[in-house]
Amino acid sequence: MKKTLLITGGAGFIGSHVVRLFVNKYPDYQIVNLDALTYAGNLENLKDIENAPNYTFVKEDITNAEGISSLFQQYKFDGVIHLAAESHVDRSIVDPNAFINTNVMGTANLLNAARELWNGDYEGKLFYHISTDEVYGSLGDTGFFLETTSYDPQSPYSASKAASDHLVRAYGNTYNMPFVVTNCSNNYGQNQFPEKLIPLFINNIRNKKPLPVYGDGKYTRDWLYVVDHARAIDTVYHNGKQGETYNIGGFNEWQNIELIKVLCTQMDEKLGRQEGESAELITYVKDRPGHDRRYAIDANKIKNELGWEPSVTFEEGLSKTIDWYLENQEWLDHVTSGDYQKYYEKQYS
């Protein structure tokens, strides 16, 4: 069936994998990628599909309510997959307002534009909001986040994402707008901006720079390969039940320090360095303020109801990720030039 689909944040890390999957898999869909191209957005991520006949890129900022509204009127979107966001916890600690503007106000602008266009006729329409497990707060040593877990966000980033999740559900409840929300654990894979743990550490190991481990390094995250997240988004968009929430995770919990050791070992092998050489770069640094101790997702609902599960093991995914960064030095050089250096010095000096 022909559809026009808006994907926001498609030039970013996860968004670019979602755009690629939809453009290649659904030639009948017209895919419009809307992205403001902030520091995290990079059209080099989509070189392979930029000339596809069913793909259009639009540079726009979701905080521009008028611009967003007129795009909805122009393209008459049937569906929205909303990924555009400020996404890095450390940056949210330095500048919360950027997160409130984009994540809260930007989401409200998209909801309002969808409501205006669809005008109560919701046949074949869907607003799909991509969120994070961080909205549930921090766990102790045991337990898992379920879809029914109460929200308890602890950082400006997670609070802004929680607010946007609430808005989406409120529009569903108040205006009957068809929606789904997914809350996913930490992603890793190719094209991730090197401010997040795994690509930052790959880049630093390669350049023999210190590996800044926050606090005692015993913080725990669940890690999912980004291509598997894109597959989950495809599954939920097409088969998810309207009004539902699905948690997405990798069934793959790691303490940061243990993950970093595996990364160091793989990097030593791939770079032909002596065993243990990269681990010597590990440097414990001042902790992140308000650092959430543990995230752990129970992803059994999407597994049991929609038949999705991760397809790639962590060791395979990590190996592919390292290979990609080592083979794409030019990409890394582009994204780490200019403002990145200033960010890095401010964050880690």
Active-site residue identified among 55, 157, 246, 344: 157
- In angstroms, give the least distance from the CB of 267 to ligand NAD: 21
**Minimum CB distance to ligand NAD smaller for 20 or for 161:** 161
* Dist. CA 126–CA 303, nearest whole Å: 21
Three-state DSSP at 183 gives: strand
Please name the residues in contact with 328: beta carbons below 8 A apart, sequence gap of 6 or more. 190
Which residues are bridge partners to 223 per DSSP? 186
- In angstroms, give the least distance from the CB of 42 to ligand TYD: 18
Q: What is the CA radius of gyration of the chain?
A: 20
Catalytic annotation present for 134:
yes
Spatial CA neighbour of 195 closest among 231, 154, 157: 157
Site for ligand TYD in 57-96 (CB under 6 A): 89
Q: Does 153 bind ligand NAD (CB under 6 A)?
A: no
The tokens for 260 are 């970093």
Among 82, 125, 221, 229, binds ligand TYD (CB under 6 A): 221
Q: Does 186 bind ligand TYD (CB under 6 A)?
A: yes
Q: Does 200 bind ligand TYD (CB under 6 A)?
A: yes
Stretch binding ligand NAD (CB under 6 A), from 23-31, 32-40, 110-118, 323-331: 32-40
Q: Does 35 bind ligand NAD (CB under 6 A)?
A: yes
Residue nearest ligand NAD, Cβ-based: 12
* Contact yes or no for 29/1 (Cβ under 8 A): no
* Dist. CA 107–CA 101, nearest whole Å: 9
Q: Could you say which of ligand TYD, ligand NAD, none residue 214 binds, taking C-beta under 5 to 8 angstroms by partner kind?
A: ligand TYD
Q: Does 196 bind ligand TYD (CB under 6 A)?
A: yes
Site for ligand TYD in 237-276 (CB under 6 A): 256
Among 39, 75, 122, 214, binds ligand TYD (CB under 6 A): 214
Q: Does 40 bind ligand NAD (CB under 6 A)?
A: yes
Among 85, 100, 126, 318, binds ligand NAD (CB under 6 A): 85
Catalytic annotation present for 277:
no
Element (H, E) at 131: strand 126-132
- Per DSSP, the residues of 90-129 read HHHHH-HHHHIIIIIIIHHHHHHHHHHHHTT--TT-EEEE
- In angstroms, give the least distance from the CB of 156 to ligand NAD: 13
* Dist. CA 180–CA 82, nearest whole Å: 11
- In angstroms, give the least distance from the CB of 227 to ligand NAD: 13
Active-site residue identified among 35, 86, 133, 292: 133
**Minimum CB distance to ligand NAD smaller for 130 or for 177:** 130
By rule CB under 6 A, what string of x and - marks binding of each residue 44-63 to ligand NAD?
A: -----------------xxx
Among 213, 296, 312, 335, binds ligand TYD (CB under 6 A): 213
Catalytic annotation present for 133:
yes
Q: Which residues are catalytic?
A: 133-134, 157
Q: Interface with ligand NAD by CB under 6 A: which residues? A: 9, 11-15, 35-38, 40-41, 61-63, 83-87, 102, 106, 130, 132, 161, 184, 186-187, 193
